Amino acid sequence: MLVVGGVLLFQALSGNDSTDEPTQFILADYTNPPQLLADVTADLDSLGIRYETIAEESAVVPVGFVHRTDPVAGTVILADQTVKVYFNPDPQLVPVPGVVGLTLEAARLKLEGEGFKIGDITIEKTDEVAENTVISTDPAADTPALQGSTVAIVVAGPPDSVQVPGQVVGMTEIDARALLEAPPYQFTVTTAVQSSSTIPEGTVIEINPGPGALVLIGSDVTIVVSTGPQPVSVPSVIGQTEGRARNSLTSSGLVVRVTFQEVPAGSPDDGRVVAQSLPADSVVEPGTEITITVARSVQVAPTPPPTTVEPTTTVPPTTAAPTTVAPTTLPPTTLPPTTVL
């Protein structure tokens, strides 16, 4: 009860905890085969993924083609996380795109999409155009320049304004605060929390006002930080069959291990859970292992019937009649008379 109360108290104090997962994407592979920078940025724009284009010469792809991204293809990224797109720049001068009249964020996207970068941003007070509208650029539109070079922008707004940096999304809370609280921003930062089964604990999921917004230096901003997976409550499975108990525990995000306990044949507990290693209603992290003990009846082997041995018949010894040998009578031998000389 104390553990449950502690978790609920923490969530109540945070005020903004949510179980909704932040919007995420799996970054596509734009390098195999290599794709044109314009096609890659158009795809990222359609998905609402922020990006930064970086001119980097490469001998393995044609001019104007993308040869790597950071993060790499297949990485799970947040909607507002900035993807770095590296492309092989055109060695010839190309015209600077026109962005006057666009919002600052729209101007950034257009310049990045054609291989340029926003340089210094000057805020100018004016009543001629709406705030956050680009007034002029240096170099001006259509001026020949090298891809990868910067374009300075003058934008309408209060003189003490700055653009909310989008790169804090995906940073750790510590790094994000260090950036936002330092010059030129000097924001007052508030942290809200949101659980996520996929975003590591301590990672910035979102910033409000959103990336690219023009706000006064020292304004209040809120960063939403992942608390990692939301704790789960252990269900009671004692008395359930092994299969039902497994389903209940795994659907709660727990890892199940099974041991067995022998019970007499015919026991009503046979095949059912008789103990669990974590008490019901315990609050634990997803992926925690729980051991359940399942009763299993002892199978007694049947006793074979006694074997009857037939009695042994004793044969009396046989007495042999004595053998009588008749004496042999030899006829007398008659020797011839001996003559003496």
| pLDDT score at 329 | 52
Question: Residue 199: what residue type?
Answer: I
Q: How confident is the model over 296-320, as a mean pLDDT?
A: 66
- Write out the two tokens for 177: 């605060």
Residue range(s) defining the domain that contains residue 273? 232-297
Question: How many CB atoms are closer than 10 A to CB 67?
Answer: 19
In a domain, 282, yes or no: yes
In angstroms, the CA 18 to CA 21 distance is: 8
In a domain, 165, yes or no: no
In a domain, 292, yes or no: yes
Number of domains in the chain: 1
- Write out the two tokens for 230: 């939301």
273 with 245: CB under 8 angstroms? Answer: yes
How many CA atoms are closer than 13 Å to the CA of 316, on its beta-carbon side?
Answer: 3
Question: How many CB atoms are closer than 10 A to CB 179?
Answer: 14
Phi, psi angle pair for 35, to nearest 5°? -120, 155
In a domain, 261, yes or no: yes
The rounded Cα 234 to chain-centroid distance in angstroms is 22
Q: How confident is the model over 289-302, as a mean pLDDT?
A: 84
Q: Write the DSSP symbol of residue 166.
A: G
Start-end of H helices in 128-221: 173-180
Least confident of 18-27, 32-41, 72-81, 156-165: 18-27
In a domain, 86, yes or no: no
What's 279's domain CATH number? 3.30.10.20
In a domain, 83, yes or no: no
Residue 12 has pLDDT above 80, yes or no: no
> Residues 255, 260, 261, 264: is their CA dihedral positive or negative?
positive
Question: How many CB atoms are closer than 10 A to CB 256?
Answer: 17
In a domain, 254, yes or no: yes
In angstroms, the CA 206 to CA 220 distance is: 14
In a domain, 3, yes or no: no
Residue 60 has pLDDT above 70, yes or no: yes
256 with 302: CB under 8 angstroms? Answer: no
**Lateral strand order in the sheet of 220-226:** 188-194, 220-226, 204-208
pTM score, two decimals? Answer: 0.65
The distance in angstroms from the start CA to the end CA of the chain is 154
In angstroms, the CA 134 to CA 108 distance is: 10
List residues bridging with 283 in a β-sheet.
Answer: 233
Percentage of the chain beyond pLDDT 90 is 64
